Amino acid sequence: MSDDELDDLLRLPAAPMRARSDAAFAASLRVLRWRVWRRRVVCAMLFVLGGAGLFAAGRLTAPEPERIVETVTVEVPVAVSPSVEVVADTAVKLELKAELSDSPAESAGLYKRAADLFLIERNVAAAVRCYTLFLALATPAERLAQNDDSWLLFELKAARRAANPGDLK
């Protein structure tokens, strides 16, 4: 093959091809825009799905709402039941103070308080002793039955009235 023949083979032939140029542009532009639109749709879907996923994950992993425990202190009236030691100590001290007091009225009051505490302690014998000393020192008005008298004092006052009717005067 001569050089001229080779040149003829390789030389670009003059061929008009403009007719399909616009078609190629239009078709490629459609593809380009379709890809852009599809990418936007996919991004939007991913965004929505991601948001939903995060929401679901948040719902699944969120800790239980903290329970607020409100501590309400309600005072409930209960029978007085102080510890035996405190009661005994206090009752004994009151009885001792009553014995040492020079004032009969003070002594009477102290004996009564000591007797009340001995009764709470269920030390009935000591309570009877202190109530008896209280009644011995008490004024006539104090020897009358009172609303706040314990059952034991009430009974002792009643017994004393029965034995000494003159106390009522």
Partner 1 sequence: MSDAATERALVQAARAGDAAAWRVLFDSCAESVRRYAVWRAGGDVHLAEDAVQDAWLTAAKTLPRFDPGRGTFAAWLGGLTANAVRARLRTARRGSLHPLEHEPAGREWNWRVAEVLAALPGQYEAVLKQKYVDGLSVVEIAALAGQTEKAVESQLSRARQAFREAYAS
The residue (of 27 and 158) whose beta carbon lies closer to partner 1 is 27
CA distances from residue 109 to 95, 98, 114, 129 in whole angstroms, order as listed? 10, 8, 9, 14
Residues binding partner 1: what is the number (CB under 8 A)? Answer: 25
Q: Does 33 contact partner 1 by CB under 8 A? A: yes
Q: What is the DSSP string of the chain?
A: --HHHHHHHHSPP-----TTHHHHHHHHHHHHHHHHHHHHHHHHHHHHHHHHHHHHHHHHHPPPPPP----------------HHHHHHHHHHHHHHHHH-S-HHHHHHHHHHHHHHHHHTT-HHHHHHHHHHHHHHS-HHHHS--TT--HHHHHHHHHHHHH-GGGG-
Q: Does 125 contact partner 1 by CB under 8 A? A: no
Q: Does 21 contact partner 1 by CB under 8 A? A: yes
Report the residue from 4, 15, 61, 75 that binds partner 1 according to the rule CB under 8 A.
15
The residue (of 28 and 103) whose beta carbon lies closer to partner 1 is 28
Q: Does 41 contact partner 1 by CB under 8 A? A: no
Shortest Å, Cβ 40 to partner 1: 9
Q: Does 55 contact partner 1 by CB under 8 A? A: no
Shortest Å, Cβ 8 to partner 1: 10
CA distances from residue 9 to 48, 151, 162 in whole angstroms, order as listed? 59, 138, 155
Stretch of 1-9, 97-105, 106-114, 147-155 contacting partner 1, by CB under 8 A: 1-9
Q: Does 68 contact partner 1 by CB under 8 A? A: no
The residue (of 37 and 55) whose beta carbon lies closer to partner 1 is 37
| Interface residues toward partner 1, by CB under 8 A | 1, 3, 6-7, 9-13, 15, 17, 20-21, 23-25, 27-29, 31-33, 35-37
